Amino acid sequence: MRQKRDPQRNLLYLMARNKLARELEAISRVLDLNPAILDLVLRDLVTCQRTDTGRHGMTAEQVLRCAILKQYRELTYEELAFHLEDSLAFRSFARLKMGQYPCGSTLQENITATNAETWEAVNRRLLEHAAQQKVEKGRAVRLDATVVETHIHHPTDSTLLLDGIRVITRLLQAGKELKPTPWYTFADHQRAAKKRGLQIQGARKEQVRLKAYRELLSLAHRVLGYARQAVAELQGFVGADLNETIAAHKVLAQLERAVSLLLRVLSQTERRVIRGEKVPAGEKVVSFFECHTDVIVKGRRDTRYGHKVFLSGGRSGMILDCVIARGNPADAVMFPDLLSRQEAIYGRPPLKTAADGGFASRDNLRRAKTRGVKDVMFAKKRGLGVLDMVRSLWVYKKLRNFRAGIEANISRLKRAFGLDRCNWQGWPGFRQYVWSAVVSYNVLVLGMLLPAH
């Protein structure tokens, strides 16, 4: 049976006295003061627990601490497994038993079992503790937005076509390994497609580039035809046993998804390259693997591929709230929702709000004042008067300086907690990654602010 925590502590594990160990000790104190957090994590672990083995598995406490370690030190699962075996400080922090050395796959299975909603609930519990300790009361809030990239290569029409050809060819080969062997036939055009892709990449003349694109499109259409034949065959396929039938259904589902994506890539390539049309960002496919990725363009800056994340910070430096948006919503559109979430967290609106210039609008100012926010500072006035926003010019300057602090918070999240780029798969994985980074950051900030006992 899965346990919440190990009741028997190892007396041999002692924390070192270096800076890293002191930070881990501070985090550990915060977690020990909030045992209710483990109930949240345990609920997800019990849901996904395997019943075909006799092992109890990692405790909820160990999973939570290992997840924080991973984000705190920006480690891969294999690196985390190595440090948990090699470092006495890491083992002491993770509360591992003697002889317990979880491998990378075990760590991944357990850490990814904790969903984004649970991480958000853990963060709410940390905020409650911070309020009880009078570290963060949520009276003054600063708002800003950033972009967290997904783990994809820079998307071009040629590379997307190559990805589609490669993925479908791999699935067709997997289908041919089923027993009995399906009757459909196909040819492997990956080598020819790669050659055209290199020609496109190195072409100096537009005619050469267009010719290579047309040949690559032709190859993609052939592969699409093979895939359609395979889909028709696999829909009625019955394997030699149940496992073969299940495997065929998996291949079929992946093939249907890949075919739909390749059709969209073919359409956007023909529109953009052959006919010279402009394809709206919302209609573009930018990855075969992370299809949830949005195209984010902020002003005249470089185009980013990922998701827009709205962060609310407090005076303590903690992140009070995080909203991960789909699409590319304007900052001003999100402002009312961010204020509403602050009311839900603390049961009252903040007294002061400092936001980036993108949030500024007369309607947002009116909504904030109506909710009871005394001072609302936007970094750019956008036609608003200073005295309409705040009580005095001195208050405006103070809040403007206060708002700049969230830039440092975001920078630290990106540099030290891996929030610049998410390498977890899928939309649920993206949300889990962002929230786990925020919680890991908050528990460190809170631990360093609380006095050591």
* 3 state SS of 298: coil
* Distance (Å, whole) CA 188 – CA 257: 20
Q: What is the pLDDT of residues 145-162, one digit of tens each?
A: 999 999 999 999 999 999
In the chain, where the domains are located = 19-114, 125-152+292-425, 157-283
> For 378-401, what is the mean pLDDT?
94
Grade residue 55 by pLDDT with cuts at 50, 70 and 90: low
pLDDT value, residue 14: 52
* 3 state SS of 20: helix
- Angle at the Cα of 136 (from 131 to 137), degrees rounded to 5? 65
Q: Do domains 125-152+292-425 and 157-283 have the same CATH topology?
A: no
Q: What is the pLDDT of residues 185-214, one digit of tens each?
A: 999 999 999 999 999 999 999 999 999 999
**At the top level of CATH, which class does the domain 157-283 belong to?**
mainly alpha
List, as one string, the DSSP characters of 329-352: --HHHHHHHHHHHHHHHHSS--SE
SS (H, E, C) 211-258: HHHHHHHHHHHHHHHHHHHHHHHHHCCCCCCHHHHHHHHHHHHHHHHH
Please give the residue that has the higher pLDDT: either 353 or 57. 353
* Distance (Å, whole) CA 411 – CA 421: 13
Q: Distance between the two ends of the chain, CA-based, in angstroms?
A: 34
Phi first, then psi: give them for residue 305, nearest 5 degrees.
Answer: -120, 110
Q: Is a pLDDT exceeding 60 seen at residue 306?
A: yes
Grade residue 453 by pLDDT with cuts at 50, 70 and 90: low
Considering the entire predicted model, what is its pTM? 0.91
> For 411-434, what is the mean pLDDT?
96
Sign of CA dihedral 338, 320, 68, 64: negative
CATH of region 125-152+292-425, choose from 3.10.310, 1.10.357, 1.10.3470, 3.30.420:
3.30.420
Q: With left for phi above 0 and alpha for psi between -120 and 50, is residue 376 left, alpha or beta? A: beta
